[in-house]
């Protein structure tokens, strides 16, 4: 591999590169391991910057475009940094009818955050999802692993602001 001369990237520490190396080494001769490698490396770094995809491609002896093609096929992979907290807002019918859009507007305005994006300070990422399977609680917002039902535009910021 690189004998400690890792590519420079502000989001990837040397410790992270070392772990990436371990993941690649453990999987190099395993056919069809690319998805697993991408997933493990994303767990280490938080997302998949171009430099990381190039590095993985070299390590697995695949072309970058091949690896990039696999990664872009699956929605679980992200090419952008994610926030420390993931806010999922349910845009399913029950939640929509009960006014989730107003709560979403408040979130967007308060944190200057668009759906599908991450705040500049990487505190929050916002994701709109289809029915979360908790329609009885509509409208529903999930922050990380916590589910909040009966969300109102008035209270939603109070709820989310607890997450630093
Ligand atoms: S529509 Fe929102 S939980 Fe089902």
**Over 80: is that where the pLDDT of 126 sits?**
yes
Are 94 and 155 found together in one domain? Answer: yes
Q: How far is the CA of 142 from the centre of ligand 1 (A)?
A: 11
- Domain range for 59 is 14-73
Residues 61 and 99 in one domain: no
**Predicted pLDDT of residue 119:** 94
Instruction: Give me the CATH number covering residue 95.
Output: 3.40.30.10
pTM of the model: 0.72
Beta strands (DSSP E) in the chain are 85-90, 124-129, 141-143, 146-148
Of 131, 136, 147, 150, best ligand 1 pocket probe by most atoms within 8 Å of the beta carbon = 131
Task: Check pocket membership of 131 for ligand 1, CB cut-off 6 A.
Answer: yes
- Report pLDDT for 4: 58
73, 103, 122 — which closes off a domain?
A: 73
Q: pLDDT tens across 20-37, in order?
A: 999 999 999 898 999 999
- Residues 94, 60 share a domain: no
Nearest CA-CA partner of 16 in 28, 77, 70, 7: 7
- CA 42 from centre of chain: 9
Ligand 1 close to Cβ of residue 93 (< 6 A): yes
Write the pLDDT tens digit of every residue in 51-94: 999 999 999 999 999 999 999 999 889 898 889 999 999 999 99
62 and 37 within one domain: yes
Q: Is the pLDDT of residue 3 over 70?
A: no
What residues are paired with 147 via a beta bridge?
A: 142
The verdict on residue 150 lying in a domain is: yes
């Amino acid at each position: 591999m690189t004998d400690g001369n890792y590519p420079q990237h502000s989001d990837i520490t040397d410790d992270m590169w070392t772990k990436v190396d371990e993941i690649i080494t453990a999987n190099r001769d395993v056919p069809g391991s690319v998805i697993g490698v991408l997933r493990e490396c994303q767990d280490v770094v938080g997302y998949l910057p171009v430099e990381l995809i190039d590095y993985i491609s070299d390590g697995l002896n695949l072309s970058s475009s091949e690896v990039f093609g696999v990664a872009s096929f699956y929605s679980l992979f992200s090419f952008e940094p994610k926030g420390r907290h993931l806010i999922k807002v349910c845009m399913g019918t029950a939640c929509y009818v009960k006014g989730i859009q107003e709560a979403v507007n408040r979130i967007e305005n308060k944190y200057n955050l668009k759906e599908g994006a991450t705040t500049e300070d990487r505190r929050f990422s916002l994701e709109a999802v289809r029915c979360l399977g908790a329609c009885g609680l509509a409208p529903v917002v999930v922050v990380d692993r916590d589910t909040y039902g009966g969300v109102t535009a008035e209270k939603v910021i109070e709820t989310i602001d607890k997450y630093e």
